[in-house]
Structure 1
Amino acid sequence: MKRLTTRVAALATALALTVSLAACNNTADTSQSSSVTVETEESTAAPATPEESVEAQPLTYPMTLTDQAGRTVTIESEPQTIVSGYYISSSLLIALGRADRMVGIEAKADTRPIYSLSAPELLELPSVGSAKEFDLEGCAALEPDLVILPLKLESAADSLTELGIPVLLINPEDRTLLAETITLVGQATNAAEAADSLLAFTQEQQTRLETTLADADRPDVYLAGNSDLLSTAGSAMYQSDLIDLAGGRNVAEGITDTYWVDIDYEQLLAWDPDYIILASDASYTCDDVLNDANLADCTAVKNGSVYQMPGDAEAWDSPVPGGILGAVWLSTVLHPDLCSADEANAVMGNFYENFYGFTYPLA
């Protein structure tokens, strides 16, 4: 890949040092997804489904991929230097054995335990900012072979592409899209075998939960957001898939927005969930909810069925590579008679040992 120093300098005369995207639409467009098509000089592969093994795809370069914004992206050679501007792709690169190729990372990386536990060297990398304020010039100055960004940074991706830097936009906003993300990044970074193993692990646990909970009654579950109890995820979001896999019913399933939605106490009481689950990084506590006078008549509060998703390794209530563990954990809360905590801990330990190289549960 040609070095970009002169073109970076040219870009600096036309663009501000940072790209502020705060005014852009924060809603992820889940209508766009990758076909994960690989085209090489030797062959053209048919689009892959999430269930297909990525080993079936030829991994020779140059390759052309369709990312999750529907953009055609050509990667000339196997990426040796990668910038990840999204915590989900950063975590995924660790799981795929590509952390040592990262040269830039998203802002606030030091707030995510998964990095210090599995790849602490990432905390020393330059920050390229966040989705709201992405450092376009700083990213380009790193001269990466590949950049991976969230869908909402499409404008920045186009600018980097003009400089000859290939950019993949990812959008892992539900279970199917997360599988596509894993496949896509695995192909782009020549880590298909690791991606295949990760997908196989997830599928194994999904099948186990579906089989175990096939005939179980499904309690009503309300999943609260990290910033406010009265913020929740509807049926279009990954969090709703998590509840379903764990053998529950998302009381907010009628909400079709693709981002967190604010409600009021009246709506929450009308739903009257059997369980209230707090996001792993919630800014409030289970006690706050249990002692909230506005919820005194809520079934979950009356029964003491308020829990917080674990977050000591990473936020399982978000579409991270280990997101299936959120369903594994929640199944033990909703159906302790069918899903044991000991079995769940064994699954979690196996996952983090194999894909991240540390022991879990944490001491």
Structure 2
Amino acid sequence: MKTVVFTGLAAMLAVSVAHAADKPISFEDHRGQKIELAAPPERIATIIRAAPFIYYSADRTTDHMVAVNADSIARMKNFVYADLIPELLELDGAAARDGFAPNVEAILATNPQLVIQAMHNPDLIEPLERVGLKVAAWGCCSEQQRLDYITMSGIISGHPERAEATLKLHYDSNAAMKAKFGELADDKKVSLVYIEKLGDQIQVVANPSQDFSLSGIKNLAADDSGEWWKNVDVEQLFTWNPDMIIIPAQAVTLNPSDFYAHPLLSGMDAVKNKRVYKVPKFNASPDSPELFLSAVWLAMVAHPEMGPIDQDFRKTVRDAYVTIYGREPDDALVNRILELEANIQAPGYAALFK
């Protein structure tokens, strides 16, 4: 047995890892509750929306996921996983169909040995435990909690070494970015606004868990509220007048062309200079194990004056998917991941990532 301790922003996760697939598993979930299993489960249900692809990254099969959230399947259809791991779309979506509210009867029918559920509301866990189901609770939404999802998936599946390999990519990449941009003066940072919805009211991502300082960026919408989103008007956008605008990957119907065609935004610097970018698909969920790639990509588009931050980012992307999921995207899929078509009007984008 090996004991691993992780410390983070919100909590300490202490786990006891059994490396052999036939040995007992013991770990603490985000409630601090000890979860024990005789062996890696052959039947697991997940209600956390991102859990199917996170768990797959450790288990490398869908055979053990007997029920997932219907929202998981609906969202993955717009993510890279639909092409990279299409069998994820064939999972049974009966575990939940209304947010995180569990379909207890349907879950019971699948006879799972473990259910992964959200921790934010105890009422979402109690109905499962009341009928005798074992629940591992995942909290949200700090960076450390999201890294813990990977760790726990490795422990539960009996493949902690896969989780460790994924986490090493994250830590190594972030360390390299911090070394390059950690001491960058504020007046050298590129300003951005992160816009998810464009209408009469404009929804901006104000306080995501992503650390923009790793990319030499300042998010003009950030404040002390802790709220993920906030609504602003066009006047506020012009007051900010960011160097760049980025669009989250999950905003599937919003593209840079919508900003370039907008009659009220043509005078904004980011629009005039064609510096509106659709974020690549490795950022489609804030829980994605490959999310660390976003900091590198963002630095590359924000700071071309600093020279090549990654000499072959396409290879970095391919290698990351191989390490995390055991699947290598082909060139066409890498193009789609990097949103080459959506970002074609941005000067130098194709040359940077082709």
Q: Secondary structure at the match of 2:249?
A: coil
- Residue 102 in structure 1 maps to residue 65 in structure 2: yes
Amino acid at match of 2:70: A
- Judged with a 3 Å threshold, the aligned counterparts in structure 2 of structure 1 residues 192 and 62 are, in CA distance, closer, same or farther, namely closer
Q: Secondary structure at the match of 1:87?
A: coil
Match in the other structure for 1:319: 287
Contact 2:4–2:15 (8 Å) recurs in 1: no
- Judged with a 3 Å threshold, the aligned counterparts in structure 2 of structure 1 residues 284 and 261 are, in CA distance, closer, same or farther, namely same
- Judged with a 3 Å threshold, the aligned counterparts in structure 2 of structure 1 residues 66 and 354 are, in CA distance, closer, same or farther, namely closer
Give the percent of matched residue pairs that are identical in Structure 1 and Structure 2: 21
Q: 2:319, 2:164 → 1: CA distance? A: 16
- Residue 124 in structure 1 maps to residue 90 in structure 2: yes
Match in the other structure for 1:253: 222
- Residue 306 in structure 1 maps to residue 267 in structure 2: no
TM-superposed CA distance for 1:57, in Å, is 3.8
- Judged with a 3 Å threshold, the aligned counterparts in structure 2 of structure 1 residues 46 and 94 are, in CA distance, closer, same or farther, namely closer
Match in the other structure for 2:43: 81
TM-superposed CA distance for 1:262, in Å, is 1.9
2:203 to 224, 227, 231: 231
TM-superposed CA distance for 1:73, in Å, is 4.3
Q: 1:153, 1:360 → 2: CA distance? A: 41
Contact 2:119–2:125 (8 Å) recurs in 1: no
Q: Secondary structure at the match of 1:164?
A: coil
Q: How does 1:324-363 map to 2 (within 5 A)?
A: 324-336=292-304, 337-340=306-309, 342-356=311-325, 357-363=327-333
TM-superposed CA distance for 1:71, in Å, is 5.0
Q: 2:98, 2:277 → 1: CA distance? A: 30
Contact 2:100–2:124 (8 Å) recurs in 1: no
Contact 1:49–1:180 (8 Å) recurs in 2: no
Match in the other structure for 1:279: 248
Q: Secondary structure at the match of 1:161?
A: helix
Q: 1:143, 1:327 → 2: CA distance? A: 41
TM-superposed CA distance for 1:56, in Å, is 8.1
* TM-score with structure 2 setting the length: 0.78
Match in the other structure for 2:17: 58
TM-superposed CA distance for 1:333, in Å, is 0.7
Contact 2:289–2:324 (8 Å) recurs in 1: no
Q: How does 1:157-306 map to 2 (within 5 A)?
A: 157-216=125-184, 217-225=188-196, 230-235=202-207, 237-239=208-210, 241=211, 243-282=212-251, 283-306=253-276
- Judged with a 3 Å threshold, the aligned counterparts in structure 2 of structure 1 residues 86 and 132 are, in CA distance, closer, same or farther, namely closer
Q: Secondary structure at the match of 1:223?
A: strand
TM-superposed CA distance for 1:154, in Å, is 3.9
Q: 2:255, 2:85 → 1: CA distance? A: 29
TM-superposed CA distance for 1:76, in Å, is 2.9
Amino acid at match of 1:97: D
Contact 2:296–2:309 (8 Å) recurs in 1: no
Q: Secondary structure at the match of 1:48?
A: strand
Q: How many residues align?
A: 312
- Judged with a 3 Å threshold, the aligned counterparts in structure 2 of structure 1 residues 64 and 210 are, in CA distance, closer, same or farther, namely closer
Q: 1:331, 1:187 → 2: CA distance? A: 33
Q: 1:360, 1:218 → 2: CA distance? A: 34
TM-superposed CA distance for 1:50, in Å, is 5.4
TM-superposed CA distance for 1:199, in Å, is 0.6
TM-superposed CA distance for 1:98, in Å, is 4.6
TM-superposed CA distance for 1:274, in Å, is 0.8
Summarize deviations over 1:183-211 as a string: whole Å, max 9, x none.
Answer: 23322332211111111010111011112
Q: Secondary structure at the match of 1:210?
A: helix
Q: Secondary structure at the match of 1:294?
A: coil
Q: Which runs of 5+ in 2 are unaligned?
A: 334-354
More strand by share: 2
Amino acid at match of 1:230: I
Match in the other structure for 1:5: none
TM-superposed CA distance for 1:326, in Å, is 1.5
Match in the other structure for 2:349: none
* TM-score with structure 1 setting the length: 0.76
Amino acid at match of 2:192: V
Contact 2:6–2:14 (8 Å) recurs in 1: no
Summarize deviations over 1:277-315 as a string: whole Å, max 9, x none.
Answer: 01113222212112323323322122221111122xx54
Amino acid at match of 2:254: Y
Q: Secondary structure at the match of 2:6?
A: coil
